[in-house]
Structure 1
Amino acid sequence: MTALRPERESGAAYGESFTDSYGDAGDQGTSYGQQPYEGSGALGEWYGGESYVTQAYGQQAYGDQSYGEQPYAEPYAEPYIPPADDETVALRVSAPPSAGESMRPSAASSAASAAGSPTGGRAARRKAAKRRHGRHGGTRQASEAAESGSEEQSAAPLSRVEARRQARARKASPATVASRAIGEVFITTGVLMLLFVSYQLWWTNVRAHAQADKEASSLQDDWANGKRNPGTFEPGQGFAILHIPKLDVVVPIAEGISNKKVLDRGMVGHYGEGKLKTAMPGDKTGNFGLAGHRNTHGEPFRYINRLAQGDEIVVETQDKYFVYKMASILPVTSPSNVSVLEPVPPGSGFTKAGRYITLTTCTPEFTSKYRLIVWGKMVEERPRSKGKPDALVS
């Protein structure tokens, strides 16, 4: 069915040139070939004022140009850019070429392959990223770049003002220096005190026990060999052994109460000099006075406050054993109260002369502010030939 056409003058149809199937214009004077196509006819109006393009056998016309004057060229189309992948943000797509440049698909693929960028889908790009730097290759590269940048920045030389400012900031203030010095003094003092306490409470006991045991063994050897005889003894010389079975105490008795010669060596000292001179165990009457450390240096009298009435105290000499029984205790008295050493000590409960023993030591523990006194009364004098007394056998 043929569509209706509007008639025109001069035998021209539609006011346009018609192109046949061979791209040749119609003869002049015919109804289709009187004037060339200008793009302003009815068809131009139908296409919104744009130039109508007809392609035929690789030739084309643009606007008012005649057919065949320029070769065919495809219109420019921007290359496809895939969407960014969150997991492979390190991959980058090269910028598209400018409007005046063109790249064929084969050349683009060759460039991408040469650059090492993965082609294909999302899975292929992810695998390629893992092969190069792992799953987070981009973050790793960025961190390395940041570290290298910081090193370069730190290596840059500083100006004199900046160098002085940094030196001033590093320099400690006088208050800081003083506080550090005081802290070091306190630490050193604390360490020295700890060492001193360890020496006093532990090492002095170890050394005193060793010295006392050596002296006791020497005494017993001399008695067995008959080298010593009862009589007058020099200061610091051992002459007897004290036994307190309840407290498991066995300690030598030496003449005098010198700290250096007697007491600090772990022994018990006999009050035998000057105004404090007391009787010997073999005397018919009198008070046998002894002194010993309660803490440190062997501490032989540490627990004499635990003695009760009737507990045995034995003094062993070369010829005899002298057995005393605890009679009374004075928990606290002044160090100047020498009356406790009298032949009949006041406060001891004794009313007449007899053969007594007095033990003196410091109190409270770890101090020498007061004195603790324990008194005992002799109940047995036993020759060594008869064997040990019951207090030592049991």
Structure 2
Amino acid sequence: MSNTVSHLPRTRSGSWPHKRRAVLDWLMNDTSAQRFLDNLLVEMCERLVADGISVARSSLHLRIQHPQWQGARILWQSGAVEAEIDTFDYNVDTTEIFLRKPATEIYNGALEVRQHLVARTDEISKYPLFEELHREGYTDYVAWPIKHTLGKCHVVTFATKRPLGFLQHEMDYLKDLLPALALASEIRMKNAMARTLLETYVGAHAGAEILAGATTRGSGKTFKAAIMICDLRDFTALSDLWPRDDIIEILNGYFDAICDPIETRGGEILKFMGDGLLAIFPLSNPDACDDLLYAIKEGQSRMETLNGQLLETGKDALRYGIGVHVGDVMYGNIGSRKRLDFTAIGPAVNIASRLEEFTKKTKQSVLLSAEFISLANCSSEVVALGSHRLRGLETPVSIFGLIEEG
């Protein structure tokens, strides 16, 4: 007999009180060193099995705050040493595949979804997951909400292959874990969210520095880096020609084209400045300058593709300028007492900025300093453009451009 959505009374088995404390006590007292939620789920299930609970499958369904994904599923199955992690795109909750999952009932307010899977019934056919579990030999399935603060709801599921399904004392045992699992999962999700938000808004390295304690004004360090500053040309005029949504789409396409190669080659984007960006490649990596140059060339190739698409839709091609220099950067927290910016400053950054600005006069898209050229393996790819006095700088700067540009 199946009960797809049920509110079963909680009965307690007097013969199991001491065992039912084991995993609960572990969740509450002994998981502080476990940073990742997927590892926590694996260890919890292994401990349940060791305690005689016939769990053969468990999953967590999470709604997360991430720039790319709306949700994630963490799945453990008996015999696995690691959990499987799947992510889901935004708006997945409006798709048929999402609506045909039993966890959707929990998101819609059900307190429990329970399905016996021993014999094939019409209720098993209600969800493709139930049919799949039945074919794989599972006999019982249960899903419960995991309640976090501010009304956030996630889902945990358990399944067994025990011939008659979960025994009542096993259901009681698992239900007893829910508040502790909610607390343990929320802590780790908040930690992951903090890392994700910092990486999204200030970059991976800066985010790690902040999480490590670099949160006071003036905290930071000085190191050598290759510096890249990129800015769009005439974007203000372009913004007046097209609707807001079109402009945002164009900007996102531009940043994807320029930024993905930077991050792939080990660079860090410190900030976006309107339609411009500042990125650094620390010289602690001996290939930093070569990586930066490769990122520029890959970005140029992607920009050609993007411009082709823009022209096909009746829009103008995007023009941009890139300035590249190398030197000491002061990297850390700068700002007011209550509002800080984790960024890089210093004379080397100023020179990169002036080189980017000077591209307007040379009609070159990319200008590189002699100091950068001396560290990069690119002598056959650049052409000397002479020494020039740049705005705000007393000493002339020797400038190079890429050969393919002219």
Q: Judge same fold: TM > 0.5, yes or no.
A: no
Which entry has the higher C-alpha Rg, 1 or 2? 1
For normalisation by structure 2, the TM-score amounts to: 0.20
The structure where strand makes up a greater share of residues is 2
More helix by percentage: 2
Higher RCO structure, 1 or 2 (CA under 8 Å, sep 6+): 2
